[in-house]
Structure 1
Amino acid sequence: MGRSTGRGSRLFPGVCGLALTCIAGITPIGAAQAKTVQVTSPDGKVQALLADDGGHLSYRVAIDGRPILDPSPLRMRVDGIELGDGASIGAVRRDRTDSRYRFFGAKAAAIDRSTIAHVSLTTHGTTFEADVRVANDGVGVRLRLPAKAGRRIEADHSGWTLAAADPRVWVTPRDPGYEAIYEKKTLGELAGEPLGLPLTAKVDRYWVTISEAATAGYGDMSITPDASGRLTGDLYADPKGWRTDRAVVQPWRVTIVARDLTGLVNTTLIQNLNPPPSPALAAAPWIRPGRSSWQWLAIGAPLEADQHQWVDWTRQLGYEYYLVDEGWAAWKRPWDTLADTVRYARSQGVGIWIWVDSKEMVEPAQRRATLRRYAAMGIVGVKVDFPGHPDHVWTQWYEDFARDAAADRLMVDYHGAVKPTGTERTWPNILTREAVRGHEWQITRYKRVLPADHDTIIPFTRYIVGPGDYTPTVFEPEELQGNSWSHELAQAIIFTSPYLSFGGHPRTYLANPAVDLLKAVPAVYDETIVLPGSDPGTLAGFARRRGRQWFVAVINGSSARSLTIDLRFLGKGDWSLLSFADDAARTDTYDRTERMVRSNGSIKVPLRAQGGFAGWLRPAR
């Protein structure tokens, strides 16, 4: 179908508001007698329209009356039948959600408020349903089929058609390990190239992030733009499909919409589209976000003889956790030393996380026995690494692992993992996952360097859909590779992770002029604001509040510039500002200053290429 041309007009004139179905002979859909279902967000600003125009099932999205998605396919091929073709809309049931739950990330709580339509459909004698769910921050759509013995899922070519001519997009190539670089492109440059999700775009004046949610038991999806700009999905991890006797629930095809970057980074739509946890798990006191020391990036495999020393460094920094990473199993007395480390750490108020290879966690009985052994020792969290190719079997494994870990009160960090799809709402013991090209990539012993602008893009792409284990902040001069100390310090504030595993050596933190800020940086926040001047691919600036303290951070890209930070987000009164700005002469030092400021003031920040800024604001006594 053609793209909409009336950019400033209402998207759905002539459609029957919240009516269940209506004839849309004069709607922009364009085909006489097409049945449509319109769903509007609780605030009345976001709309989705599901249509069976000419038998082709499609959906559209608008915000403030302006189109975000032109007709976009909603499809699935099952048992040789393309469910998006020859489709006919039938009865509609209406529903809504309205709840609030604790959230670990950019803010203290998530609000799940949406309007839903459950739409009956038929095609070629097959009966199925579509769900259309519209919230104030975007839209999710999906298909569902009842259980049937031996049903074969063959393909899924659902997609997104952005309502803009060759829009700017921030994208990553398809990579099953989700550790590729993000770049700024135009959609026209990418025709025919398989891309990973999430993707962020600018449509009109709106920020749009597309991805998927609730993927358990369903293969991971990539997208490929065609010459017209339509982004078509591909179940690349399951090229031959799979059989199932269970009900088939397509993952939500998600379109997040925001009027500004602050709205974008505060979305919880991906999480909201997942089922809530059990009441006991929702309030579990053993699920505790925190910061962690970690030796892999600093020294490689852990040494058996210095585990108490690492616990001591962790305690001196005031961090909650210490991660014993890959290599502990090669110690002379691995289990005895591990048990001794756990006992000593507990005596020092430090919790121990342990690394494990996913191959030890595949067979259910072995997985449960190993997790039970960890828990019995007093270990509090598991970093599970190297999951398999994200086909339908492995996407189910993520949920099964989380369930088994929760049964033994273990928190989880997935590494080498598929992108987040909101599973952490159902299983809040999932504190983080990698699925990001982070500081493990930029390390001299691997002779790898991240592009300068990558760090300025991922806060508005990868981090929109969930927390990421970037392992930030190193200070060794040889490891900076162009970054300044202030850039590295800002990473710890911008790259949110409820399990915040620091990449640098604790000795360099304790000796650093910013040690007081390093000790104070939290793992989660109560409020987040994106600073004016932020632009993916150029600069990322955030102000995050925890309690009555504000943490301000800026990461700059490849060109030097200056930034003025308006302090109007502060409350009344005087505030003590401790700031760490770039030094013009060297990357491995700061311009450290302390002064009093007020909300009617500002901070002038000079930024070198690959530079940054970090500030800590507290009410004056």
Structure 2
Amino acid sequence: MKNKLTTFILTVCLVFSIVQIGAVSADDSLTVTSPNGCISISIETKDGKINYSVKYNSISIIESSNIGITFSSVDFSEGVKYVSSYKNTIDETYSMLTGKASVYTNKANETVMTFEKDGHLLDLYVRAYDDGIAFRYGFNENGQSLSENTTFRLPQNCTVNAMEYEMCYENFYNRHNLYELNGVYGMPMTVKVADNTYALITEAELNGNYAGSVLNADGSNVLKLGYEPKQSEPVEISAPFLSPWRTVIIGDLNTIVSTEMPENLCAPSKLENTSWIKPGVSSWTWFNGDPTNDPEVYKQYIDLSADMGWQYVLLDEGWQPLEYDEYGRKTYSGIMDWTEEVIEYGKQRGIGIIVWSTSWDLDTEQKRERLKEWANMGIKGIKVDFFNSETQQTLKLMDSITQESAELKLLVNFHGCVKPTGERRTWPNIITREAVYGNEHFLSGENWGPTAEHNCTLPFTRNAVGPMDFTPELTNHNDKNYFTDGQKCALPIVFESGIQCLSDKPQIYENSAARELFKSIPAVWDETKLLSGDIGESAAVMRRFGDTYYVGSICNNQYVVDINLDFLKSGKYWFEMYTDGSNDTDIAVYNGVVTNRDTITIPQLTHGGGAVKFTPIKENTKLFSDIDGHWCEKNILSLAEKNKLNKYFYGEFGVDEYITRAEFVMLLTDALDIGCMQGSPRFYDSIRHIAKNYIYIATEKGIINGTSEETFLPESNITREDAATIIGRYENLKGGINSGFSDSNEISQYAKEYVAQCVAMGVITGYEDNSFKPKNNITKAEAAAMLFRCQNLK
């Protein structure tokens, strides 16, 4: 048709099956269904108006809602007539340089409908994915867009996590009953529609062809799309015009966290050569108070990045001479006499330099000439700050910066800016952006900052739709730890960002118990999966880089999470776990060997968390560092060869260290094939212990009783008589109580029979002076030897 918009950007892998649809009566509906058949969007034209509704299986996600847009030449919110439609099948895969996976799958069914009013034609593009729906408007005329009549009518009794609109998207996503919403809210907004069913409302492929949108609420169950508050002028459009996609991501929480829809809805990469785009980790001085104008300090941070296996250092505000412009704003131009020296030092150490700029220092073509200067100096990227809106004018500026930076092979990190909408597929040099209430707010002077609840909300809201420069660190602020150091270890894994800007001082990382975790931590991932979570309460996220897996787990209230390791491939893996210790600044470190048949427990304090790294073990790798030549070496190796050695005892076995009560139970349950069972033991001092599942099953089987009804004392060293008692109960050893030792009168009454029978069976022996020393502790080697002998009792 003459005026019909038929512009599509295709990739080689994109397959279209075009089917013309016959006439649809005015009061009929047309339905687009997802490839798996679970999600459907129905479009209805009735009485000259276009409405839509969305279902997920039998659950109503969006009830009958409005579709429409008003241009300067025609109002398509009423009086429209259906003309025709055709179908497309979208099925492609494409590589991503940053994101939740290295390869994205774009698979959807699409119908393009054409409507007419007064000789003007409107195209409505409708897609159904397995994880949501999206629609957009197409118009093949120049002019202005005045408003949209797009609404989202949600089912009653929904709860939502919504952010009161803030021009830089730096606010909390608070939980509300739907009817409590009244005012202007930013996207994304995440809605709990039913048990295990969620809908995230956002937009995709937003650029300078349009203006950013918000959701207006009036206390009803209807959200109305509108332009961002600063967009006071009509939006200028040019044919062929395509609006951003109005997007609803639908499914369980893993679907929300791992969705690829924002990128799938964007055009393919415009860059033929992307070999220069290198995601990575950056160190940063500005946040922690170290100088931003001292070359020697920057060299220290370059050394930190090099030693930690990171890729970048960020030179923030202060790296250029300061002036003031005619509006009284700080403006920066030129370079310090030491700048090139720092860049060269970074080059020598293999570290790239990223520099900070204000948006108004790049808001004209002439000002952007400095980008060429920076690129010629060897600078690798820019962090551009203070856009403070998503008006069409602002978005056009961001487009210009993005495109010109790409031509100069500069990475881009936008701050003080609009939410991401999938544009990193089209412009992969947009490596990350802020648009989040992140760590910087600890320096806002408000004596406040991000909370654990906020952190536990972000994976399901802001970070679900794109990269997020939260700038994690380890230091406390305002004399308060808003979340534990264990949670801080997990954030670079839980939060996805193509540049992970780690913002603490060099000595903090160098002296941290989690130094080995932060060392060489990736900023790009091959796979992402939510293992467990509850918005605002907890999130455990698995990410894979190559054949190495990471799990980051965070919580608001105290939470002990059991992670099933079935996501691992076959074979054995070293694990390193860094989680909450005895208090909010203590990091407990555990390591050992696991397979995909195992479960691992991550104990977390209130506002806590933990991180685990899994590295595949190569064939013939030595699994122990301290047993060579030890008298117990053969016993330990035998248990390991039979897969009867508990996962926490590999690496440094600690042969001559005393074994705790919890460790003994862990060693026993695996050595004697008791296993473990997920549950919460009755002992309050064992509920958040890594051994909780072992203690639980041992209690259920009557093998242990605890030191009282409520305590087990898991960290106390076990005594010889208690070890014999636990083994005797499990083996059901019965018989006399006379052990024949000179100090048998010192053996507790409850242990006498078990000590005597364990000695008789050869499980445990006395000392050369014919004493037993029942209250003595035993070493890990002695425990392993005892349990090795027990294997032959049954």
TM-score > 0.5 by shorter chain: yes
Where does 1:299-448 land on structure 2 (aligned, <5 Å)? 299=289, 301-306=291-296, 307-330=298-321, 334-367=335-368, 369-443=369-443, 447-448=447-448
Give the CA RMSD over aligned residues.
2.1
For 2:172, what is the secondary structure of its paired residue?
coil
Q: Which runs of 5+ in 1 are unaligned?
A: 1-17, 25-32
Cα pair 1:187 1:225 within 8 Å, conserved: no
CA–CA separation in structure 1 for the residues paired with 2:477 and 2:221: 44
Which 10-residue stretch deviates more, 245-254 or 343-352? 245-254
Q: Is the 8 A contact 1:19 1:38 kept in 2?
A: no
The whole-number CA distance in structure 2 between the counterparts of 1:524 and 1:157 is 39
Q: Which digits, 9 at most, give the CA deviation of each residue in 1:497-554, with x for residues without a partner?
A: 011111212220111111011013210111122123x101111111211122111111
**Does residue 139 of the first structure (1) align with residue 133 of the second (2)?**
yes
For 1:214 and 1:35, locate their aligned partners in 2 and report how far apart those are by CA, in whole Å: 30
Alignment CA distance shift 1:176-1:477 (3 Å):
closer
Q: Measure, in 2, the Cα distance between the counterparts of 1:97 and 1:577.
A: 40
2:76 maps to: 83
Q: Give the superposition deviation at 1:67.
A: 2.5
Please report how far the alpha carbon of residue 431 of structure 1 lies from its aligned counterpart in structure 2 after TM superposition.
Answer: 0.6
1:182 aligns with 2:173: yes
Match of 2:150 among 134, 150, 158: 158
Residues 589-609 of structure 1 show CA distances to partners (whole Å, capped at 9, x for unaligned) of: 112112222322222233211
1:444–1:243 CA distance, 2 compared to 1 (3 A):
closer
1:241–1:403 distance in 2 versus 1, CA, 3 Å: same
Shifted more, 420-429 versus 99-108: the winner is: 99-108
User: Structure 1 residues 357, 333: CA separation in 2 closer, same or farther (over 3 Å shift)?
Assistant: closer
CA offset digits 1:388-439 (Å, max 9, x no partner): 4211111122222111100001110000010111111110000100000111
Q: Matched residue of 2:374: which SS?
A: helix
CA deviation after TM superposition for structure 1 residue 612, in Å: 0.7
Partner of 2:244: 251
Q: Percent identity over the alignment?
A: 27
Q: CA offset at residue 310 of structure 1?
A: 1.8
* Deviation per residue, 1:125-164 (Å, 9 max, x gap): 432211112222211111121133xx232112312122x2
| TM superposition shift of 1:244 | 4.3
* CA spacing shift, 1:476–1:70, aligned 2, 3 Å: closer
**1:505 partner letter:** K
**Distance 1:183-1:388 versus aligned 2 partners, 3 A rule:** closer
Query: By how many angstroms is 1:487 displaced?
Result: 0.7
Matched, 1:293 2:283: yes
Separation in structure 2 between the aligned mates of residue 452 and residue 19 of structure 1, nearest angstrom: 52
Out of 460-469 and 90-99, give the one that drifted further. Answer: 90-99
Q: 1:340 to 1:114 in 2, by over 3 A?
A: same
Unaligned runs of 5+ in 2: 1-18, 323-332, 622-794
Cα displacement string for residues 322-370 of structure 1 (whole angstroms, at most 9, x for unaligned residues): 1101111138983432211111101110011010111011112321x11
Give the residue type in structure 2 aligned to 1:614.
A
SS of the residue 1:90 aligns to: strand
Which residue of the partner structure matches residue 543 of structure 1? 542
Confirm or deny: 8 A CA contact 2:281 2:523 kept in the other structure. Answer: yes
Quote the Cα distance in structure 2 between the aligned partners of 1:255 and 1:99.
Answer: 21
TM-superposed CA distance for 1:480, in Å, is: 5.6
Determine the structure 2 residue equivalent to 1:120. Answer: 114
Q: 2:577 aligns with which of 576, 579, 588?
A: 579
Q: How many residues align?
A: 585
Residue 346 of structure 2 aligns to a residue whose secondary structure is helix
What do residues 181-206 of structure 1 show as CA deviations (whole Å, max 9, x unaligned)?
Answer: 1122221111x221110011122332
Amino acid at match of 1:211: T
C-alpha separation in 1, matches of 2:535 and 2:46: 37
Cα 1:245–1:279 change in 2 (3 A) is closer
SS of the residue corresponding to residue 164 of structure 2 reads: coil
Q: In structure 1, what is the equivalent of residue 158 of structure 2?
A: 167
CA drift of 1:90 comes to 0.8
Alignment partners' CA distance in 2, 1:243 and 1:263: 35
Distance 2:176 2:90 in 1: 36
**Matching residue's letter, 1:547:** G
The equivalent position to 1:193 in structure 2, one of 179, 183, 190, is 183
Matches within 5 A, 1:34-53: 34-53=27-46
Shift of 1:248: 3.2
SS in 1 for 2:133: strand
Change (3 A) 1:98 1:336: farther
* Equivalent-residue separation in structure 2 for 1:67 and 1:183 (angstroms): 24
Deviations 1:36-69 (A, max 9, x none): 3322223333222222122211222223343221
1:160-190 residue CA offsets vs partner (Å, 9 max, x unmatched): 122x212121111111111011122221111
Q: Distance in 1 between matches of 2:90 and 2:343?
A: 43
User: In structure 1, which of residues 194, 202, 220 is the aligned counterpart of residue 212 of structure 2?
Assistant: 220
- Hey, what's the Cα distance between the residues in 2 that align with 1:388 and 1:543? 33
Q: Does residue 611 of structure 2 align to residue 605 of structure 1?
A: no
- Give matches, 1:427-576, under 5 Å: 427-443=427-443, 447-476=447-476, 481-532=481-532, 534-557=533-556, 559-576=557-574
Letter in 1 for 2:110: I
TM-score, normalising length: structure 2: 0.71
Contact 2:23 2:84 in 1 (8 A): no
Give the Cα separation in 1 of the matches to 2:23 and 2:395: 38
Larger-gyration structure (1/2): 2
Q: What code does the residue aligned with 2:499 have?
A: Y
Q: Which moved more, 1:103-112 or 1:428-437?
A: 103-112
Q: What secondary structure is seen at the aligned counterpart in 2 of 1:82? A: coil
Distance 1:123 1:480, change over 3 A: farther
Determine if contact 1:449/1:481 at 8 Å carries over to the other structure.
no
- Partners of 2:476 and 2:454 lie apart in 1 by 21
Provide the rounded CA distance (Å) in 2 between the counterparts of 1:538 and 1:181: 14
* Alpha-carbon separation, structure 2, partners of 1:272 and 1:448: 37
Counterpart of 1:64 in structure 2: which amino acid? Answer: N
Indicate conservation of the 8 Å contact 2:122/2:139, yes or no: yes
Aligned-partner SS, 1:280? coil
Between stretches 509-518 and 96-105, larger displacement belongs to 96-105
Q: Rate the CA distance shift 1:90–1:153 in 2: closer, same or farther, 3 A.
A: same
Match of 1:8 in 2: none
Aligned partner letter, 2:226:
D
Q: Secondary structure at the match of 1:131?
A: strand
* Residue of 256, 273, 284 corresponding to 2:265: 273
Q: CA, structure 1 residues 444+512, in 2 after alignment: closer, same or farther (shift >3 Å)? A: farther
Distance 1:333 1:82, change over 3 A: closer
Q: What CA distance in whole angstroms lies between the structure 2 residues aligned with 1:96 and 1:373?
A: 46
Q: 1:588 aligns with which of 568, 571, 585?
A: 585
Q: Which is further off, 237-246 or 94-103?
A: 237-246
Q: Give me the whole-angstrom Cα distance separating, in 2, the residues matched to 1:602 and 1:457.
A: 25
For 2:552 and 2:191, the matched residues in 1 are separated by 24
TM-score normalised by L of structure 1:
0.90
